[in-house]
């Protein structure tokens, strides 16, 4: 495992789990598309050995669901196992990959830890393998993708122990009350949901009054709701007074699994999604496939009517058995239409389902090692919505036989495939998610037609920290354009794909460069970035240009997708699916003044970084350009806000003492920043509530409020020197000073500090004078006003080159982590929280950037599936937004909300009525303001009050009819916009939003739907 990959996985899974993974030997039976994808994912874990067994020759049908095989492999007559082995050795050189030539139960599974069957075998053979595994503590996983049906079955035997069900760090929750009752009820502060489960063990500490509940010994609890739980009998305990924390203790617990035999033939099989609407039919179909395979030694072929009759007979027999033995699985009337669809396509393996389901199974290897809740015990899922409303017949798809697309075309039909190959698709973001989505699309044959286009948009290059987050991101990709790397891999996979590389960002900075033509020539937008600005920008483009947008969000093992279809679905609030919203949202006062968790220290460090290296420099640049305007704009904040005072004092020093910065100035600034945050501000906080002075303040420092300790500057303290060194590094880079690397070492910075602060008197001097002003008396106010005046009318403007912090830069990324690491540990020292591990810092630092290969496979596959539905004109009820949490095996499939009619206020007249957010009034030729007013007034019987073009007011009703207003009236809308805004419209933009405020003749407010003005660029001629 490469260093970067290993390091990233430690932060996600923990070192202990990785060590277990490295020792695993795994046997995969079946190397068709699903088996190949499972095998590929397993090698990502850098296990000890992978053994593949599949004696079938590779066929064209195997090429549609995975990237492991090529046409020449089919022509050479290689087995699927041989092709898969060859492919995996090209992808990596760490895992030993072997091919099993003949399966002999005891011999083949000797020294194996887990066996994964990716295809259904004879029932007796599968049960024999399962029983052997149970007797020898070998993990057993049975998985399958059968057309519109997928399933996963897990059996880890009777001795399995789960050590960590969700992989999340535990944090103490503040207690608000504990009852004296049987059982005792513990209520938590209503700030964050506890996420406890009945049977969990909780440790309670620091409770005042009810001392009996305190202690290190964990106790089992019963969950009442999201903010309360019950414990033992507390009737005779002391009265609860205040305070206290409750924290989850992860105690390993044993789980017993049922055998495969009992799941197939038992009366009460354990099914994960037992409440799913089609679960009875799906479980029956699973049993039908096993019996059919056992009876006929094959599975039903596509379009085989006779096979359906045989399956139906088996289903009826099973149903009769259920009536007697398992009445909860008895079906009154078997849905023959659904059963027929399941049978018709059961040998079809399409790429998105193979890739996505393989990702799901890969997580179970982590579960086998004791991390994350395993599937208990069988999970069924159907994808009926992929079947088009029209009938697909065998003769219609005959021409696709012996091609990689035959199975897919048999499912969606020729017309669906024709649309798919001619779509113009935009992939926004070419990182690991973009790569995996592109792999799905290319396997589907998307954008390979004469009119097809796959546009990849990304302005970035791959960095070292991106390595191995996808099979296409290798050492050769480092420092190369993401879009070019992705393009080359796509063409290597399918040379027929029509590709265009666009090296721009998916945000407003690219607005003028992309122009209207870019978006008009895209049919479907896939968002593959988690940046909030990009999400909002693409949502706006989808709405404005009426484009399909398929959005995805991913954080570690949690993900979601959203399908936005013009005129059909409502526009969702994508921020609600931000997995971090609520996760790190602590009270601001706790973060800044009263932290009680290490996570608070890290979030505080992030806040300080943003202030020091982003906000301060951005506003310093603003000040240099417009000094007086800047001081006037923030004058009140300078007097009240400590952070703004820091900005002002840095500016003041620059305009009164320094025109050009040197290294020693930056070192001095870094030292004073240390003293500001770890000494002066902490001193002020404690001084405002001195415990010894009065009784009230003694009550103040209770519960989670701990009295912090200041850290005195000491040049011999290595942590302090490291902090100053990192801050110096960052400022030297951001101020673009030319300083040799040897002068930026910690030793050299320490020498500079020792020279400048050689005496105790020197150490008291504040060159930059960073401090917080309380402005208690007239002298304080007078001194502060003087600073403001000197900054507003500076004698000299600093001659500085100010750069921008770029988080995608490897240098800045490393320094960002270094700063958070040292700052959070210093902060933790002040509040006695212990050493903050670096992996925790990294997890919180990049938030949504926690990436693992198999959740990416799931989310991109689910997104790609939506394209099938669009190509086959499915109804809104057939689209499914997915929200999953692999740590808990939770999968929610939610249909999108239908576009709502906007008509909320009965006192407002809506024009035209009714309308949704998608409706637009089109003005498709150049018109003057006067012409627009006349046209709209007559057409809609309204009186227009004001007109805005691109959010700039260009006209308002004026009874005096001033000369300016009369001149504006004659201008066309574009020229009026350019005149009022003082900016030229970019030539690529020829569609502008118009907003009109108006009243009806009855003096009622009128609200127009979106107005789109399509102009020719005529401002120079008109």
pLDDT tens, 262-278? 999 988 889 998 888 89
pLDDT surpasses 50 at 3: no
> What local confidence, expressed as pLDDT, does residue 1020 receive?
42
Q: How confident is the model at residue 5 (pLDDT cuts 50, 70, 90)?
A: very low
Q: How confident is the model at residue 631 (pLDDT cuts 50, 70, 90)?
A: confident
Highest mean pLDDT among 116-130, 195-209, 683-697, 782-796: 116-130
Q: How confident is the model at residue 659 (pLDDT cuts 50, 70, 90)?
A: low
User: Is residue 70 included in any domain, yes or no?
Assistant: no
The maximal CA–CA distance of the chain, rounded, in angstroms, is 98
- Predicted confidence (pLDDT) per residue in 867-884, tens digit: 999 999 988 889 999 999
User: Is residue 147 included in any domain, yes or no?
Assistant: no
Query: How is residue 552 written in tokens?
Result: 């995805």
- Domain check: are 530 and 616 in the same one? no
Which is nearest to 62 in space by CA: 347, 273, 303? 347
Contact present, 536 and 506 (Cβ < 8 Å): no
User: Is residue 84 included in any domain, yes or no?
Assistant: no
Contact present, 798 and 658 (Cβ < 8 Å): yes
**Could you give the percent of the chain with pLDDT greater than 70?**
92
CATH number at residue 436: 3.40.50.720
State whether the Cα torsion 250-252-256-257 is positive or negative: positive
State whether the Cα torsion 272-278-284-286 is positive or negative: negative
Least confident of 621-630, 668-677, 732-741: 621-630
Using a 10 angstrom Cβ sphere, with 0-12 exposed, 13-18 middle and 19 or more buried, the burial of residue 446 is: buried
Contact present, 340 and 429 (Cβ < 8 Å): no
- Domain check: are 476 and 609 in the same one? no
Domain interval for residue 534:
387-581+850-894
pLDDT surpasses 90 at 836: yes
Which is nearest to 356 in space by CA: 886, 859, 900, 999? 859
* DSSP strands (E only) in 196-353: 201-205, 219-220, 222-225, 228-230, 245-249, 253-255
**End-to-end CA separation in angstroms for the chain:** 65
> What local confidence, expressed as pLDDT, does residue 700 receive?
78
- Domain check: are 665 and 537 in the same one? no
- Domain check: are 483 and 529 in the same one? yes
Q: How far is CA 990 from CA 644, 973, 994, in A?
A: 42, 12, 13
Mean pLDDT, residues 644-663 taken together: 78
Q: How confident is the model at residue 1 (pLDDT cuts 50, 70, 90)?
A: very low
Query: How is residue 540 written in tokens?
Result: 């706006």
pLDDT surpasses 90 at 94: no
Least confident of 123-137, 559-573, 688-702: 688-702
CATH number at residue 657: 1.10.10.2660
> What local confidence, expressed as pLDDT, does residue 112 receive?
97
- Domain check: are 549 and 694 in the same one? no
Query: How is residue 164 written in tokens?
Result: 């960590």
- Domain check: are 760 and 698 in the same one? yes
> What local confidence, expressed as pLDDT, does residue 377 receive?
94
Which is nearest to 417 in space by CA: 64, 849, 123? 64
φ/ψ bin of 582: left (φ > 0), alpha (ψ from -120 to 50), beta (otherwise): left
- Predicted confidence (pLDDT) per residue in 214-243, tens digit: 988 899 999 999 999 999 999 999 999 988
- Domain check: are 649 and 698 in the same one? yes
pLDDT surpasses 60 at 747: yes
User: Is residue 276 included in any domain, yes or no?
Assistant: no
- Domain check: are 921 and 880 in the same one? no
- Domain check: are 529 and 646 in the same one? no
pLDDT surpasses 80 at 1021: no
Q: How confident is the model at residue 762 (pLDDT cuts 50, 70, 90)?
A: low
CATH number at residue 927: 3.10.290.60
> What local confidence, expressed as pLDDT, does residue 848 receive?
46
**Could you give the percent of the chain with pLDDT greater than 90?**
54
* Range 771-776 contact pairs with CB under 8 angstroms and sequence separation of 24 or more: 771/645, 771/649, 771/676, 771/680, 772/642, 772/645, 772/680, 772/681, 772/684, 773/639, 773/645, 775/639
- Predicted confidence (pLDDT) per residue in 43-81, tens digit: 988 899 999 999 999 988 888 778 888 888 888 989 999
> What local confidence, expressed as pLDDT, does residue 6 receive?
45
Contact present, 780 and 772 (Cβ < 8 Å): no
CATH number at residue 212: 2.40.30.180
pLDDT surpasses 70 at 961: no
Query: How is residue 75 written in tokens?
Result: 């022509």
- Domain check: are 441 and 536 in the same one? yes
Buried b (16+ CB within 10 A) or exposed e, 611-638: ebbeebbebbeebbeebeebbeebeeeb
Contact present, 359 and 855 (Cβ < 8 Å): yes
φ/ψ bin of 46: left (φ > 0), alpha (ψ from -120 to 50), beta (otherwise): left
Q: How far is CA 856 from CA 360, 787, 842, in A?
A: 10, 54, 20
> What local confidence, expressed as pLDDT, does residue 774 receive?
61
Q: What is the mean pLDDT of the chain?
A: 88
pLDDT surpasses 50 at 440: yes
φ/ψ bin of 448: left (φ > 0), alpha (ψ from -120 to 50), beta (otherwise): alpha
| Geometric angle at alpha carbon 260, from 311 and 52, rounded to 5° | 90
> What local confidence, expressed as pLDDT, does residue 803 receive?
80
Query: How is residue 574 written in tokens?
Result: 């994508």
CA 248 to chain centre: 26
Q: How confident is the model at residue 471 (pLDDT cuts 50, 70, 90)?
A: confident
The whole-angstrom separation of Cα 316 and Cα 307 is 14
Which is nearest to 939 in space by CA: 1015, 1008, 1016? 1008
Task: Give the β-pairing of 424-428 and 228-230.
Answer: unpaired
Q: How confident is the model at residue 578 (pLDDT cuts 50, 70, 90)?
A: low
> What local confidence, expressed as pLDDT, does residue 18 receive?
86
Q: How confident is the model at residue 773 (pLDDT cuts 50, 70, 90)?
A: low
The whole-angstrom separation of Cα 370 and Cα 165 is 8
Least confident of 448-462, 778-792, 1001-1015: 778-792
Q: Cα torsion for 608, 609, 611, 612, to the nearest 10°?
A: 110
Mean pLDDT, residues 934-952 taken together: 91
- Domain check: are 461 and 558 in the same one? yes
Residue carrying the six token digits 């249909």: 895
User: Is residue 37 included in any domain, yes or no?
Assistant: no
User: Is residue 711 included in any domain, yes or no?
Assistant: yes
Contact present, 891 and 375 (Cβ < 8 Å): no
- Domain check: are 504 and 630 in the same one? no
Give the global pTM: 0.84
The whole-angstrom separation of Cα 657 and Cα 787 is 13
CA 41 to chain centre: 20
Count helices and strands (H / E) in the chain: 36, 31
pLDDT surpasses 80 at 181: yes
Using a 10 angstrom Cβ sphere, with 0-12 exposed, 13-18 middle and 19 or more buried, the burial of residue 48 is: middle
User: Is residue 408 included in any domain, yes or no?
Assistant: yes
> What local confidence, expressed as pLDDT, does residue 812 receive?
86
Structural domain count of the chain:
4
Mean pLDDT, residues 349-359 taken together: 95
Phi, psi (5° rounding) for residue 153?
Answer: -130, 135
User: Is residue 65 included in any domain, yes or no?
Assistant: no
Residue with the bigger pLDDT between 772 and 479: it is: 479
Contact present, 288 and 311 (Cβ < 8 Å): yes
- Predicted confidence (pLDDT) per residue in 245-261, tens digit: 999 999 998 999 999 99
Please say which residue of 198, 231, 249 terminates a domain. Answer: 249
pLDDT surpasses 90 at 902: no
Residue 246 makes CB contacts below 8 A (sequence gap 6+) with 172, 173, 175, 186, 188, 194, 202, 203, 204, 229
pLDDT surpasses 80 at 814: yes
């Amino acid at each position: 495992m490469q260093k970067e990959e290993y390091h990233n996985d430690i932060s996600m899974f923990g070192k202990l789990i990785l060590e277990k993974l490295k020792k695993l030997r795994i046997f995969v039976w079946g190397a068709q598309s699903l088996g190949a994808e499972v095998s590929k994912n397993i090698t990502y874990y850098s296990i000890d050995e992978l053994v593949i067994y599949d004696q079938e020759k590779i066929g064209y049908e195997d090429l549609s669901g995975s990237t492991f095989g090529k046409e020449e492999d089919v022509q050479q007559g290689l087995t699927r196992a041989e092709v898969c082995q060859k492919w995996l050795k090209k992808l990596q050189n760490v895992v030993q990959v072997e091919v099993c030539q003949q399966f002999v139960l005891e011999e083949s599974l000797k020294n194996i830890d887990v066996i994964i069957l990716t295809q259904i075998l004879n029932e007796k053979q599968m049960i024999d393998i399962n029983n052997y595994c149970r007797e020898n503590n070998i993990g057993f996983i049975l998985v399958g993708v059968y057309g519109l049906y997928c399933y996963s079955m897990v059996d880890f035997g009777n001795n399995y122990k789960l050590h960590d069900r969700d992989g999340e760090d535990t944090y103490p929750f503040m207690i608000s009350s504990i009852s004296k009752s049987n059982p005792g009820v513990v209520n938590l502060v209503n700030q964050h949901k506890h996420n406890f489960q009945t049977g969990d063990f909780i440790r309670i500490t620091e409770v005042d009054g009810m001392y009996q509940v305190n202690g290190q010994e964990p106790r089992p609890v019963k969950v009442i709701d999201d903010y309360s739980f019950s414990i033992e009998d507390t009737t005779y305990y002391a009265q609860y007074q205040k305070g206290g924390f409750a924290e989850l203790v992860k105690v390993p617990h044993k789980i017993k699994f049922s055998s495969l035999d009992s799941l197939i033939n038992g009366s009460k099989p354990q099914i994960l999604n037992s409440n799913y609407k089609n679960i009875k039919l799906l479980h029956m179909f699973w049993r039908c496939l096993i019996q059919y395979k056992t009876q006929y030694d094959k599975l039903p072929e596509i379009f085989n009517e006779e096979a359906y009759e045989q399956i139906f007979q088996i289903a009826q027999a099973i149903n009769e058995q259920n009536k007697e033995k398992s009445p909860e699985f008895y079906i009154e009337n078997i849905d023959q239409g659904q059963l027929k669809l399941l049978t018709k396509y059961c040998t079809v393996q399409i790429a998105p389902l193979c890739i996505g389901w393989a990702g799901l199974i890969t997580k179970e290897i982590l579960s086998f090692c004791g991390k994350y809740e395993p599937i208990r015990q069988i999970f069924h899922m159907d994808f009926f919505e992929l079947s088009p409303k029209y009938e697909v017949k065998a003769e219609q798809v005959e021409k696709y036989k012996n091609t990689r697309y035959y199975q897919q075309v048999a499912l969606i039909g020729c017309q669906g495939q024709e649309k798919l190959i001619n779509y113009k698709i935009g992939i926004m973001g070419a990182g690991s998610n973009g790569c995996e989505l592109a792999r799905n699309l290319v396997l589907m044959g998307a954008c390979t037609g004469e009119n097809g286009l796959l546009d990849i948009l990304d302005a970035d290059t791959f960095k070292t920290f991106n390595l191995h987050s996808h099979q296409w991101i290798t050492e050769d990709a480092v420092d190369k354009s993401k879009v070019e790397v992705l393009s080359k891999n796509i063409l290597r996979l399918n040379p027929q794909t029509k590709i265009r590389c666009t090296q721009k960002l998916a945000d407003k900075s690219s607005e003028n460069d992309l122009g209207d033509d870019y978006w008009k020539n895209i049919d479907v937008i896939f968002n593959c970035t988690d940046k909030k600005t990009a999400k909002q920008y693409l949502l706006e483009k989808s709405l404005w240009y009426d484009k399909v947008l398929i959005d995805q969000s991913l954080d570690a093992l949690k993900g979601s997708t959203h399908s936005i279809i013009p005129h059909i679905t409502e526009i969702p609030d994508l921020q609600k699916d931000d997995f971090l919203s609520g996760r790190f949202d602590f009270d601001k006062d706790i973060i800044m003044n009263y932290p009680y968790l290490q996570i608070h220290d890290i979030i505080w460090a992030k806040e300080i970084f943003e202030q020091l290296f982003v906000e301060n420099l951005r506003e310093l640049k603003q000040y240099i350009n417009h000094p007086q305007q800047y001081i006037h704009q923030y004058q009140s904040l300078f007097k009240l806000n400590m952070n703004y005072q820091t900005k002002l004092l840095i500016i003041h020093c620059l305009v009164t003492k320094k025109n050009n910065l040197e290294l020693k100035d930056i070192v001095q600034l870094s030292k004073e920043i240390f003293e500001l945050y770890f000494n002066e501000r902490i001193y002020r906080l404690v001084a405002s509530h001195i415990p010894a002075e009065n009784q009230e303040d003694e009550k103040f420092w209770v519960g989670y409020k701990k009295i912090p300790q200041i850290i005195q500057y000491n040049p011999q303290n290595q942590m302090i020197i490291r902090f100053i060194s990192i801050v110096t590094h960052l400022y030297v880079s951001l101020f673009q000073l030319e300083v040799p690397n040897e002068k930026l070492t910690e030793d050299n910075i320490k020498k500079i500090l020792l020279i400048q602060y050689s005496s105790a008197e020197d150490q008291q001097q504040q060159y930059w004078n960073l401090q917080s002003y309380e402005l208690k008396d007239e002298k304080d106010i007078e001194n502060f006003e003087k600073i403001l005046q000197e900054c507003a009318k500076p004698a000299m403007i600093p001659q500085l080159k100010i750069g921008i912090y770029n988080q995608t830069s490897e240098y800045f990324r490393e320094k960002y982590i270094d700063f958070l690491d040292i700052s959070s540990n210093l902060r933790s020292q002040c509040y006695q929280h212990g050493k903050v591990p670096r992996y925790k810092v990294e997890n919180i630092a990049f938030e949504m950037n926690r990436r693992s290969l198999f959740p990416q496979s799931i989310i991109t596959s689910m997104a790609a599936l939506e394209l099938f539905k669009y190509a086959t004109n499915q109804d809104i009820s057939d689209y499914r937004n997915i929200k999953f949490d692999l740590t808990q095996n939770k999968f929610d499939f939610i249909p999108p909300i239908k576009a709502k009619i906007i008509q909320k206020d009965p006192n407002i007249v809506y024009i035209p009525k009714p309308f949704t957010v998608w409706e637009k009034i089109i003005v498709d030729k150049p018109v003057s303001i006067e012409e627009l007013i006349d046209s709209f007034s007559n057409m809609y019987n309204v009186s227009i009050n004001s007109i805005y073009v691109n959010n700039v007011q260009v006209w308002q009703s004026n009874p005096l009819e001033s000369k300016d207003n009369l001149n504006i009236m004659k201008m066309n809308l574009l020229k009026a916009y350019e005149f009022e805004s003082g900016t030229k419209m970019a030539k690529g933009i020829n569609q502008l939003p118009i907003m009109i405020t108006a009243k009806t003749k009855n003096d009622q407010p009128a609200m127009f739907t979106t107005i789109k003005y399509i102009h020719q660029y005529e401002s120079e001629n008109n």
